[in-house]
Chain A
Amino acid sequence: MRIGTLKQSYIADAALFDSRTQKAWLAIGAALLVLFPFMASDYWLYLACLVAINVASATGLNILTGYTGLVSLGQAAFMGLGAYTVAIMQTRLGTPFLLNILAGGVVAMLGGLVVGIPSLRVKGLYLAIATIAASFITHFLFANLKLTGGTTGISLPPAQLFGLPLDTSFRLYWVIVPVMVLMVLGAANLFRTRVGRAFIAIRDRDISAEVLGIPLLRYKLLSFGLSSFYAGVAGGLWAYFFRVVTPESFPLLMSIFFLAAIIVGGMGTILGGIFGAVFMTMVPELLKLVVDLLPGGVEMTVFLSPVRTVVFGLLIVGFLVFEPHGLAEVWRRIRRFFHLWPFRN
């Protein structure tokens, strides 16, 4: 039973992982992450990479929606911008893959600024509508520009790192997961500083925030730009992972996927972004399993896509109505129970 932790200095109190138990869990987690690819089958490696990409993107969306309180339905569109940037740079310029991914993030961020500047000046809800419009516009651009290969899209050769082609899930894992870890840590760090505090203030009470010294438009744009950057990087990783980018790769439904992820996981907590992304990545896999088991055979698979759509929607509505703080809150309750055991409260 852990009653409390005693911090001896302010610095210790401010650390991300403070108690010895937390540090121990962190070490175990890191060890697992390192050992995993050696023990896992190809299928699970594939899933792990996909989960990592989704965690990165969901964390970005969480910064914007969970922490700053601005709903966006454009996460997929910005991932698409990142993915196409990477694809175009890789196939036409042959530039190193880390540079491409960074460029993907920057292009997505610029896209975010274009959408954000008009729509963030008033109520946050206008951003949501503008991002829906942006989804349609980016889809239109992807499908109609020569640069993006039109409706067939672009195929990428594998990324190259130190001369080694990253063409298996195993190899990609060692790039995707560290990038994801950096992004998650970055987000966690954000909320130890005035930048993160400003985001939360905007979510909770934006009109007072301005009088307290926070320039609203600038910080809303910062939050949106940052989350678009995260989406762009995730999109770039996505492009190297799937090696094919088409206009249909990033539909509006994917934005809904990510919104569901942060709602299910727990908005406004870093852990929530992780939980949500893991959960949501598993959902389509689980659905596939269920559909396989049902009688009806092949005809049932045509229901996979619409059932997925319904399930995403149900998860959003269900969690908002019944468990608005998401799985992170459930986890917190479990932890509190174990901390206080054998006491009840």
Chain B
Amino acid sequence: MSAPSATAPVLQAEALTLAFGGVKALTNVGFSVAPGSITAVIGPNGAGKTSLFNTISGFYKPSQGRVLFEGADITRLPAPKRAALGLARSFQNIALFRGMTVLDNIKLGRHAHLKTNVFDALFYLGRARREEAELRRDVEERIIDFLEIDHIRHASVAALPYGLQKRVEMARALAMQPKVLMLDEPVAGMNREETEDMARFILDVRREWGVTVLMVEHDMGMVMDLSDHVVVLNFGQVIAQGTPAQVQADPEVIRAYLGAGDVGELRRRLRGEAAVGAA
């Protein structure tokens, strides 16, 4: 776990407020993500974590506030253009395209970085052929190998078990040539072994690809072990942020998760929970 670098943040949320009619999903949410770091966004269910991701992705337009990517204001930028900049993500409830194979799903991730237009495509000469060949080689050697999914590359995604689907989601996000990789609950529903595999992949991605990771996660062990920085949301607001140790000790955080009660006792329980998770 490396310390966040002192250079300019690669992603910033500034005073984001998101409202659906009368319901405020996010209120004045602000935090920075340092390049090359792993940042976790945690919070109880309904805290607004996925809404935050959707706002950063460009799917929701915030009523107030800004999103900055490498210093540039992307708040008004449409979602496809953010993908082209290097903002990749995976989804909470797997959003693979069931009509395509694993390989095609992964290749789709590269869409924003390819140049083939409809004329190139219809005749499949020149640019289309070159781009596809290069894409295939890149995906095979860098992604499929890396995530160990070569045995299922031609499988239809609908037939895959949950754990493998999640891995294919990750592969597709990697194909987006990300500078920032947003993972929405990457280990949800996974057993111990799958979780460890995924944690290993995330660390490898950061080390070998230089990717910054921003993740929403509920698995406290993973969060505490992997993250350099943790942001805690509750009811759409940031109630704490800092290193995992700082956040773990924060009474507001404990109260949010476990309700009111003896803070000391809850603290012990939280640490105990984290310890079990890390074992």
Chain A interface (Cβ within 8 Å of chain B)?
10-11, 13-14, 186-187, 189-190, 192-198, 200-201, 203-205, 207-215, 222, 226, 268
**B112 proximity list for chain A (CB < 8 A):** 212-214
- Interface membership of B252, Cβ < 8 A: no
Scan residues 164-203 of chain B and give those whose CB is less than 8 A from a CB of chain A.
172, 176
A214 to B84, CA, bound (A): 10
A314→B131 CA distance, assembly (Å):
44
C-alpha spacing A60/B165, complex, angstroms: 32
Cβ-defined contact, A186 with B123, below 8 A: yes
A193–B137 contact, CB under 8 A?
no
Starting from the known contacts A10-B133, A215-B80, 18 additional A-B residue pairs (CB-CB under 8 Å) come to A13-B136, A189-B122, A189-B124, A193-B116, A194-B107, A196-B121, A198-B111, A200-B97, A200-B104, A201-B108, A204-B99, A204-B100, A205-B95, A211-B58, A213-B83, A213-B84, A213-B111, A213-B113
CB pair B121–A193 under 8 Å, yes or no, is yes
Q: Which one of B108, B123, B131 lies within 8 Å of A212 (CB-CB)?
A: B108
CB-defined interface of B102-126 with A at 8 Å, one 1/0 digit per residue? 0010011111111011101111100
Known A193-B121, A195-B116; judge A212-B176 contact (CB<8 A).
Answer: yes
CA distance A226 to B57 in the complex (A): 30
- Do B83 and A268 have beta carbons less than 8 Å apart? no
Subset of 27 A-B contacts with CB under 8 Å: A10-B140, A11-B133, A14-B136, A186-B123, A189-B122, A190-B118, A190-B121, A190-B122, A193-B120, A193-B132, A194-B110, A195-B117, A196-B121, A197-B108, A198-B108, A201-B100, A203-B99, A204-B98, A205-B95, A207-B59, A208-B91, A210-B79, A211-B57, A212-B109, A212-B112, A214-B112, A268-B99
The answer to whether B231 has its CB under 8 Å from any CB of chain A is no
What A residues does B117 contact at CB under 8 A? 195
Least CB distance from A185 to B in Å reads 9
Residue of B nearest to A201 (CB): B97
A211 touches B116 (CB 8 A): no
B99: chain A residues within 8 A (beta carbon): 200, 203-204, 268
Q: Is the beta-carbon distance between A204 and B97 smaller than 8 angstroms?
A: yes
Asked if residues B111 and A194 are in contact (CB atoms below 8 Å), the reply is yes
In the complex, chain B residues whose CB is within 8 Å of the CB of A209? 97
Within 8 Å CB of B120, what residues of A? 193
A186–B123 CA distance with the chains assembled, in angstroms: 6
Given the known inter-chain contacts A189-B122, A201-B97, A226-B118, please indicate yes or no for A211 contacting B111, CB distance below 8 A: no
Is the Cβ of B108 less than 8 Å from the Cβ of A192? no
B78 within 8 A of A: yes
Q: Which residue of B lies closest to A13 (CB)?
A: B136
Residue with the highest number of chain B CB atoms closer than 10 Å, among A190, A205, A213, A268: A213
Q: Is the CB of A194 within 8 A of B123?
A: no
Residues from 63 to 108 in B contacting A, C-beta threshold 8 Å = 78-80, 83-84, 89, 91, 95, 97-100, 104, 107-108
Distance, CA A209 to CA B172, complexed state (A) = 12
Residues of B within 8 A of A14 (CB): 132-133, 136
Residues of B within 8 A of A (CB): 57-59, 78-80, 83-84, 89, 91, 95, 97-100, 104, 107-114, 116-118, 120-124, 128, 131-133, 136-137, 140, 172, 176
Residues of B within 8 A of A211 (CB): 57-59, 79, 83, 89
State how many angstroms separate the Cβ of A274 from the closest Cβ of chain B.
Answer: 18
Give the distance to chain B from A23, nearest Cβ to Cβ, in Å.
Answer: 17
Are A186 and B133 in contact, CB atoms less than 8 angstroms apart? Answer: no
Given A200-B97, A204-B99, also A212-B111 (CB < 8 A):
yes
Interface centre among A11, A186, A197, A198 (most CB of B within 10 A): A197
- Residue numbers in B under 8 Å from A198 (CB-CB): 108, 111
Pairwise interchain contact A194-B98, C-beta atoms closer than 8 A: no
Q: Which residues of B contact A193 (CB under 8 A)?
A: 116, 120-121, 124, 128, 131-132
9 closest A-B pairs by beta carbon, nearest first, are A213-B112, A213-B83, A189-B124, A208-B95, A186-B122, A193-B121, A204-B97, A195-B121, A215-B80
- Complex CA–CA separation, A222 to B59 (angstroms): 22
Tell which of B57, B83, B111, B131 has the most Cβ of chain A within 10 Å.
Answer: B111
CA A11 to CA B122, docked complex, whole Å: 18
Q: Which residues of A contact B118 (CB under 8 A)?
A: 190, 195, 222, 226
Q: Which of B58, B109, B128, B176 has the most CB of A within 10 A?
A: B128
Question: Does B132 lie within 8 Å of A192, measured CB to CB?
Answer: yes
Query: Which residues of chain A are within 8 angstroms of B176 by Cβ–Cβ distance?
Result: 212-213
A200-B99, A205-B97, A213-B176 as given contacts; A194 in contact with B83, CB under 8 Å: no
Shortest C-beta distance, A119 to chain B (Å), equals: 20
User: CA separation between A24 and B89, bound complex, in Å?
Assistant: 44
Kindly provide the distance from the CB of B257 to the nearest chain A CB, expressed in whole angstroms: 29
In angstroms, Cα B242 to Cα A223, docked, is 48
With A and B bound together, what is the CA distance between A14 and B59 in angstroms? 34
Min Cβ gap A14→B in Å is 6
- Which B residues are in CB contact (< 8 Å) with A214? 80, 111-112
Question: A197 contacts B122, CB within 8 Å?
Answer: no
Which B residue sits closest to A16, measured CB to CB? B124
Q: Which residues of A contact B113 (CB under 8 A)?
A: 213
How many angstroms from the CA of A205 to the CA of B105 in the assembled complex? 12
A26 CA / B95 CA spacing, docked (Å) = 37
- A222–B100 Cα distance when bound, in Å, is 20
